[in-house]
Amino acid sequence: MLPVAPEEKMNICKWWLARGFALLPVQPNKKYLVEGYGAHKKKIVTSAEAQAMIEKYPLANLAVLGHGGTTIIDFDIPKVYADWKEHHAEI
């Protein structure tokens, strides 16, 4: 997967943060969090923190930290998402 430009990554961060979600940086091409981050550790909750994370870990991916019973589904293949969405239009 190609890296996301810093400006685009910041826009993605702002979108999630504006909806009340926290973010966690994930090691590039892995499912492991960057050391020191986690649900009960450090998390990104402001745009300033997001900007600092992007500058410090430019290749990190983002994980969205759900809250209040929220379920977040990660689709890596657009076709799989399109099929899922077709069968779950009410969501």
Instruction: Summarize pLDDT for 6-55 with one digit per residue, the tens.
Output: 999 999 999 999 999 999 999 988 889 999 999 899 999 999 999 999 99
Structure tokens at 48: 């300033």
User: Is-contact 65 33, C-beta < 8 A?
Assistant: no
Residue 3 has pLDDT above 90, yes or no: no
- Rounded to whole angstroms, the Cα distance separating 51 from 59 reads 13
- Per-residue pLDDT tens over the stretch 52-90: 999 999 999 999 998 877 777 777 788 888 898 888 887
Can you tell me which residue has the tokens 């745009």? 47
Angle at 47 between CA 42 and CA 49, to 5 degrees: 30
